[in-house]
Structure 1
Amino acid sequence: MLLIYAVRIEYNQPLKIKKMARDNPTWIADLTSIGQRRESALADLREIVRNGLPYALSRWLSPADPGFESLIEEATQETLMRVLEKLDTFRGQSKFTTWVYKIAVRIALSDLRRHRWRDVSLDELVEKPESLSISGLMSGKEPDPELTTEKRDLMEVILKIIQQELTEKQNQAIIAITMHGIPLDELANKMNMERNALYKLIHDARIRLKNRLAEQGLTPAEILATFE
């Protein structure tokens, strides 16, 4: 009777199935299989990515932001698709989930940058670039006054060359990319250009700037040294 009672107690307990941790080969095997095995692996991977991204993104975007959850969801879905496309590139040099997590963070940050610039016009990007770029380059609470003046003078020279020597499109592209950090793909959309065409536009503009700065007796190394 006691034995039967014990069995009944065990039988009436809710069934708890603990998910088995997958090693690298198992992840690959499950994700390249078909049917329920693959769907189960995708669901587990989605949960891992979905639970990990909020912490990573909270450094750049507050979880209280109205767009936070939608960004997490969008990045999670894109990550799963990207992982399936790149499974054959996984070399097993780290845990599979670590590899996936790095992909997820890159995608999420890229999406975040695109969202931030989506409603910004090109006119806004090139409006008063002097104040935007100079304030961004001056870091620290108590900057060296002499170094600050040197930075300001050099920036004025660079901006003058940009405005006088470059075409309007080159001007827009250089300011947007180098001074605001707008993603190349987002800028291509705003300028209605193919990505490769925009890349060539920026490349030509940089060559032109480099040559013009050389005429002023300035080299890229000297410019970088000023802002270190």
Structure 2
Amino acid sequence: MEENDHSIIRAVLTGDKEAYGKLVVRHSPTVFRVAFRITGDEADAEEVVQEAFLRGYQKLESFESRSEFGTWIYRIAVNCALNMKNKRQPAANYQIAEDADPTQHQVQVADTAADPERLLLSQEIEALQARAMQRLTPTERTAFILRHMEARSTEEIAATLHIAPNSAKQAVFRAVQKLRRGLAPLRVNA
């Protein structure tokens, strides 16, 4: 039978420092996934995972056993990822050059074969999506990722970002509105 997180934490706190590795192995995939979605870079995401688990280990005594370790380490990881993102992209770098043709209102998709045109179109769509995500504030981006990619509740988003639940809802709403505007060139008229 697999040990639960709380029993592993008790073991770590009573001197079995090696037991923490079980928590790392168990929760690393989730932490990496959210870190990668926030940072957009695999190496940065790996660094966030290491930093989050290091901070978690250092603050393990402050962990309140009434909550879940997974949620707690997830919050630490989100904060680490946001900190890294802010360090890597100072406020002055948030201006995005407009490359999209404003007269282009439709995107024609080629057949399912991966020919050069389709590959180019996929690259253009990815670039448009990336630009749209970059236009979001760090709070909006994280709230959007947590809600629509990680399926987290408004309360979890609010707790993770240290904001009121209403502010979390507004951040998700603003993100969705900005993304819709940013991805408008992808709409196909039916």
TM range (shorter): 0.3 to 0.5
Please identify the structure whose Cα radius of gyration is greater.
Answer: 1
So what's the TM-score if we normalise by structure 2? Answer: 0.41
